Amino acid sequence: MGPAVRWRPPGNRSLCKARMAVPSFPLPVDTAPMEAKLGETIPDHGGPWQYEPKWDGFRCLAFKAGGIVDIRAKSGKPLGRYFPELMERLRALPAPQFVVDGEIVIERDGQYSFDALQMRLHPAESRIQKLPAETPANLILFDMLADGCGEILAGKPLTVRRAALEEFVQSAETPDIELSPITFARREAEIWLEGAGHGKTDGIVAKRLNEPYLSGERAMVKVKRIRTADCVVGGFRNLASRPEVGSLLLGLYNDEGKLDHVGFTSTISNKERPDLTRRLETFRGEPSFTGKAPGGPSRWSTERSGKWEPLRPELVVEVRFDHVTGDRFRHGTKLQRWRPDKNPRQCTFDQIA
């Protein structure tokens, strides 16, 4: 990050002091983050572009005014209660007022752990006080909506916002507030993308250098590393509205030869549901997940019920996925095709390593 320096108010110092006289957030806490639309490839036309890693954490906006700090999730929900260590760090920063855009991350064994982040969203106060010491969070910043003097930058181009953010992070004097790296070279962004999907990042974000911060709009482009894997269909869940298949439960064989549940796919058209349901009924059997079995509804599942129907481990499907966390597909996968030519025992974890 370079040598630490004390924050100094940019521009008119008297104006900065006047703004600080009555502490208030420069922007309302319900300000929506600028969002991204999914792209197939890293853009290189219609720019100029700035490329950044897409971090594997919780997106947030952080606000400060004097001794008052707030952290908001992309949904608008407050996060400060669950991350008291970040609240303290932001409160201790020398800049008296600001609004920044970033990602909350927790590092474990050299990788960012989404599971550890999920565990932090705990209702019990005792756990909230205990977890910051066990799994401390960091904040990676990649945009600035209002500078350390409270001047609103959202309407200015990214080049101006980035310069202000770099000065801000340099003055932070803490390694727990990090500056997200950037590149203007598409080839370097492609290299970053190759390494995404199983670690600290899950893709690339492209932003136009001459655009303002467009709150709530999908003005950025996100590109994810898409891969495929052959998985055993170990069970299925029905739709909540009728007794037809809603999702297939996917499994991979671990090193002990046991079938672990790794996620689901629900990209089944209404036209094919009746025939597929009848076909799956012929494969009903004892639970095939001999390792980790499906539980109730979770962040990987959108099903209303935790009930699932077991199938004999004879069917194989090829699915498309974008990210793996804790030996599971982070998001729902896309069904590519059935693989009658594939031996289920060939469906192992080495495909997603």
For every residue of 27-83, DSSP letters joined together read: S-TTPPPPEEEE-SS---SSS-EEEEEEESSEEEEEEEETTEEEEEETTS-B-GGG-
Mean pLDDT of 125-150: 94
pLDDT in tens, 49-108: 999 999 988 999 999 999 999 999 988 999 999 999 999 999 999 999 999 999 999 998
| Mean pLDDT for all residues in the chain | 88
pLDDT tens, residue by residue, 275-330: 999 999 999 988 889 999 997 544 434 444 568 999 999 999 999 988 888 788 98
* Predicted local confidence at residue 2, as pLDDT: 35
- The active-site residue, picked from 37, 54, 258, 292, is 54
Q: DSSP alpha helices (H): ranges in the chain?
A: 13-21, 84-92, 114-120, 125-134, 158-170, 186-194, 273-281
Predicted confidence at residue 17, as pLDDT, reads 59
Helix ranges (H only) for 93-179 are: 114-120, 125-134, 158-170
- Can you name the residues that pair with 238 across neighbouring β-strands? 245
* Average pLDDT of the residues in 170-178: 85
Measured between alpha carbons, how far apart are the two ends of the chain, in Å? 32
Band of pLDDT at residue 249, cut at 50, 70 and 90: very high
Q: Please enumerate in sequence order all residues whose Cβ is within 8 A of that of 100, keeping only pairs 6 or more positions apart, or say none.
A: 61, 62, 141, 143, 144, 145, 165, 168
Q: What are phi and psi of 119, to 5 degrees?
A: -65, -25
- Sorted by where each begins, the domain ranges of the chain are 15-223, 227-352
Q: What is d(CA 106, CA 317) in angstroms, rounded to the nearest whole number? A: 33
Task: Tell which CATH architecture fits domain 227-352.
Answer: Beta Barrel (2.40)
DSSP 180: P
Average pLDDT of the segment spanning 148-165: 96
Q: Where are the beta strands (DSSP E) in 124-254?
A: 138-146, 177-179, 201-208, 218-223, 227-238, 245-253
The answer as to CATH 3.40.630.30 being correct for domain 15-223 is no
Amino acid occupying residue 271: K
For the cut 60, the answer to whether the pLDDT of residue 199 exceeds it is yes
Mean pLDDT of 114-119: 86
**pLDDT band at 175, cuts 50/70/90?**
confident
Residue 292 falls in the annotated catalytic set: no
